[in-house]
């Protein structure tokens, strides 16, 4: 039987996307340079690392979890990258005795270190049965404390040119940041749709007990999800640090809330079992377009935070409404 298009349901399910798209059109036709190549490039550069973070958070949400430590892990990864990749002749170098390290080697070191935090998150959630909200909230505080200790709360800069080029360079018209995001997106598409891990992840989100009975190794799957999430935060932190030209304990603050909101806007349900990579990208784009619109309208940054908070609340409320309507 052919399904009929339900306009009311469509508008309800995509209310935030439609409203922010309408806002973008209004701003575009009433302000200068909104529909410009430079603004588009700025949007792509801002979206790329946030999309990578949101991909990490998405697996946690799909399994009815969350990761409140995401932003702080991004910040720690940015600080670790900074410590490893400062120029050897920089006067205020954090590790003056460290030899010159290739950028790729530094990235691998950061990925491995951050994977440990993901493994701890996964083990605490899978074996100790600590709710993900509490486990990752505790990890958020631990990571921030560690970051403060190793950096002595000092901002870091003085990167060697090869590290800065990771974020500032481009392949033709395509920024390197976008290439990283595209590769991550393709990998996540394959992982979620074509692998046993992806099937297990959705099964756990749909009904964890039923998945366990069906033979899914729930603890191992959860650990893999949180390890992968931390690896993606590490990559994002590496890129954010290069893009900003510096890093500090404030780097990444609040990114986890943006990622959760973007996932929810893009159709990743906080009630588990639902979510697509394409939807995540749409959610991140919508959230970034909202921020750019408010900047073009010259809205005070304080009110921008209020607007973002309202979007987060409305996105989760609409998600819960869809969940309750299915019951």
pLDDT (tens digit per residue) in 43-64: 999 999 999 999 999 999 999 9
Listed residue (199, 223, 303, 251) closest to 79, CA to CA? 251
Structure tokens at 120: 């701890």
Contact predicate 191/231, CB 8 Å: no
What is the pLDDT at residue 301?
Answer: 87
Whole-angstrom CA distances from 298 to 15, 31, 83, 309 are 24, 11, 36, 18
Rounded Cα distance, 102 and 215, in Å: 44
Give 64-82 pLDDT, tens digit per residue.
999 999 999 999 999 999 9
Half-sphere exposure of 19 (CA within 13 A, CB side): 13
| SS3 state at 159 | strand
This prediction's pTM: 0.94
- The DSSP letter of residue 102 is -
* Residue count (the chain): 327
What is the pLDDT at residue 13?
Answer: 73
What is the pLDDT at residue 326?
Answer: 61
| Helix (H), strand (E) at residue 141 | helix 132-151
Q: What are phi and psi of 284, to 5 degrees?
A: -65, -45
Rounded Cα distance, 94 and 310, in Å: 40
What is the pLDDT at residue 323?
Answer: 64
List of the chain residues with pLDDT < 70: 1-3, 323-327
Rounded Cα distance, 209 and 175, in Å: 44
What is the pLDDT at residue 270?
Answer: 83
């Amino acid at each position: 039987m052919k399904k009929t298009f339900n306009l009311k349901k469509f508008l309800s399910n995509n209310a935030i996307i439609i409203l922010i798209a309408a806002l973008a059109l209004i701003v575009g036709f009433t302000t200068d340079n909104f529909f410009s190549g430079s603004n588009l490039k700025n949007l792509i550069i801002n979206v790329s690392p946030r999309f990578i973070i949101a991909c990490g958070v998405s697996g946690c949400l799909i399994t009815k979890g969350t990761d409140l430590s995401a932003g702080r892990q991004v910040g720690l990864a940015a600080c670790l990258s900074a410590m490893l990749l400062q120029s050897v002749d920089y006067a205020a170098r954090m590790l003056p005795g460290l030899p010159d390290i290739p950028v790729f080697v530094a990235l691998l070191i950061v990925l491995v270190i951050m994977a440990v935090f993901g493994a701890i998150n996964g083990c605490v959630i899978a074996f100790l049965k600590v709710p993900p909200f509490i486990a990752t909230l505790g990890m958020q505080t631990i990571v921030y404390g560690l970051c403060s200790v190793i950096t002595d709360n000092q901002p870091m800069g003085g990167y060697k040119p090869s590290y800065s080029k990771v974020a500032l360079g481009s392949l033709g018209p395509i920024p390197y940041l976008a290439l990283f995001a595209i590769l991550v997106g393709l990998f996540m598409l394959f992982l979620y749709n074509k692998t046993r891990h992806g099937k297990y992840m959705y099964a756990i989100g749909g009904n964890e007990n039923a998945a366990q009975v069906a033979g899914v190794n729930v603890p191992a799957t959860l650990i893999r999800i949180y390890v992968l999430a931390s690896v993606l935060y590490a990559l994002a932190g590496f890129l954010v640090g290069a893009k900003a030209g510096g890093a500090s304990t404030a780097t990444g603050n609040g990114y986890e809330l943006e990622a959760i909101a973007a996932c929810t806007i893009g159709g990743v349900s906080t009630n588990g079992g639902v979510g697509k990579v394409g939807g995540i990208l749409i959610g991140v784009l919508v959230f970034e377009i909202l921020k750019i619109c408010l900047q073009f309208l010259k809205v005070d940054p304080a009110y921008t935070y209020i607007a973002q908070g309202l979007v987060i609340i409305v996105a989760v409320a609409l998600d819960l409404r869809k969940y309750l309507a299915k019951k």
